[in-house]
Amino acid sequence: MAFETALAKPSMNRTERRNQEKQYNKRSYNQLVQAYPAIDFKTYFSEIKLSKFDSLIVSQPAFFEALNQLLTTQSLESIKAYLNWNVMNTSAGYLNSALEKQNFYFYSTVLTGTTEQKPLWKRGIAAANSIVGELLGQLFVEKTFTPESKKRVNAMVDDIVAAFKVRINGLTWMSNETKEKALIKLASFNRKFGYPDKWKDYSKLEIKDDSYLANQYRASEFGFQDMINNLGKPIDRGRWGMLPQTVNAYYSPTLNEIVFPAAIMQPPFFDADADDAVNYGSIGAVIGHELTHGFDDQGAKYGADGNLKSWWTEEDKKLFEGKTKVLVNQFNNYYVSDSLHINGELTLGENIADLGGLTIAFEAYQMRLKKNPGEVINGFTPEQRFFIGFAQIWKNNVRPEALRQLILTDPHSPGEFRVLGTLSNMPQFYQAFGIKEGDKMYRKTEDRANIW
């Protein structure tokens, strides 16, 4: 515990780790060895069979400085104990039932408040997912993903990109010089839907009936070797960083791409039987969210080619940071208990993406309404159903223990505040529901964030 604490203290916290510039510390092999002589990098790289590279990135120099010092001050027995503990701890969930339950008790019950393990069949699927996920993905997309859904969502992306272009051109705080580069980046986004064009080859992965733990080790070695094999080769832009059966989406700043697995193109995020208002407010907001990540406080540091470089004028950058500070202050004042509040800095990127994404999706929906006029359904106008669709996707249940952990570690705000925080900044929401001063979600005009 003391050894791990000594490593943790100098490490960057969650908020600091959001800053990619701080983590981009390029070093040659000789510089690495000279900086941290107590760490036997030669043996380490030899053991993992990594010999040919011209440079590497030391993402957290302070961590390596601490490790270098600990290796010279701690006893060999302490170091062995720490390494043994890590082997046992990472293996506990794959051993006998008693150890598995004890592992669950600490990491789930103590830390997140979960009182019961999932049934064995669900744990079995999760285990297979972690080892041969793309094999399960092939079965999943056969049953759930239709070409019609892909076509419809792709059309929504076209609308939202067009709307984003309109929003950028209409910005009064951004100079024409920066606008031009922002539009170049927007036009260069790659998009992936559903599943990879080429599935992962698992033929070299051995799965035997000798030991569950041994299979886990072999799977880890297979995954590690798959990663190492890509070193020095051209970037494979067809690879996915998420499984098709995962209900999520992501933006990759280094590849400048947005990715939407098949599983998120299901209700409540996308409903083929729902009208445009609901779908633009739900999956449309998610599409806009991922696009906006390319222009959030960190994504905006990457150019259209995926390289970490500034494309802003200094004045525009300062104006942008001033606008994002409004969001930081707003979310810092959301309390989930008397003593626990949201970290506005940690959640800034996601809050920017939520607000920008929904704003752009609303603009896209207004453009769609000109082609396909909406109607009142169940007493709600198209605009009202748009915002209701957004609120529906963030419904969730969370235990107090899990909520505390999320607040301390997750760059996303809790679902409730993703809705309240985003909508209370949007004049379109005020107009749709007649929100006025004195209502709980009302914010003064000067207190509302308005970025994209």
Could you read off the pLDDT of 104-115 as tens digits, one per residue?
999 999 999 999
Neighbour count for residue 99 (Cβ, 10 Å)? 14
Helix axes 314-332, 348-371, angle to 10 degrees: 100
Mean local confidence (pLDDT), 109-137: 94
Burial of 12-33, coded b for 16+ CB within 10 Å and e otherwise, reads beeeeebeeeebeeebeeeebe
Contact 347, 297 (CB under 8 A): no
Percent of the chain predicted with pLDDT > 90: 88
Q: Which are the catalytic amino acids? A: 290, 354
Could you read off the pLDDT of 304-328 as tens digits, one per residue?
999 988 899 999 999 999 999 999 9
Contact 383, 432 (CB under 8 A): yes
Residue 151 has a pLDDT of: 87
For residue 149, the one-letter residue type is S
Architecture per CATH, domain 144-196+241-447, reads as 3-Layer(aba) Sandwich (3.40)
To 5 degrees, how large is the angle CA 330–CA 334–CA 340? 135
Could you read off the pLDDT of 259-310 as tens digits, one per residue?
999 999 999 999 989 999 999 999 999 999 999 999 988 888 999 999 988 8
Q: Which residues contact 171 (CB under 8 A, 6 or more apart)?
A: 179, 452
Contact 280, 366 (CB under 8 A): no
Distance between start and end Cα atoms, the chain: 46
51 pLDDT above the threshold of 90: no
d(CA 337, CA 257) in angstroms, rounded, equals 37
372 pLDDT above the threshold of 90: no
Contact 390, 277 (CB under 8 A): no
Closest listed residue to residue 342, CA positions, set 292, 296, 411: 411
User: Mind giving me the DSSP string for 371-417?
Assistant: HS----BTTB-HHHHHHHHHHHTT-----HHHHHHHHHH-SSPPHHH
Residue 149 has a pLDDT of: 83
Handedness of CA 220, 252, 345, 330 (dihedral sign): negative
Report whether the peptide linkage leading into residue 268 is cis, meaning its omega lies within 30 degrees of zero: yes
The residue behind tokens 């529906």 is 392
Contact 259, 241 (CB under 8 A): yes
Could you read off the pLDDT of 179-215 as tens digits, one per residue?
999 999 999 999 999 999 999 999 999 999 999 999 9
Which of 80-94, 138-152, 214-228, 412-426 bottoms out in mean pLDDT, i.e. has the lowest? Answer: 138-152
d(CA 114, CA 105) in angstroms, rounded, equals 8
Q: Give domain limits for the chain.
A: 2-112, 144-196+241-447, 206-239
d(CA 332, CA 345) in angstroms, rounded, equals 8
Q: Which residues contact 219 (CB under 8 A, 6 or more apart)?
A: 130, 131, 205, 207
Q: Which residues contact 15 (CB under 8 A, 6 or more apart)?
A: 343, 345, 346
150 pLDDT above the threshold of 90: no
Contact 311, 185 (CB under 8 A): yes
Mean local confidence (pLDDT), 212-219: 95
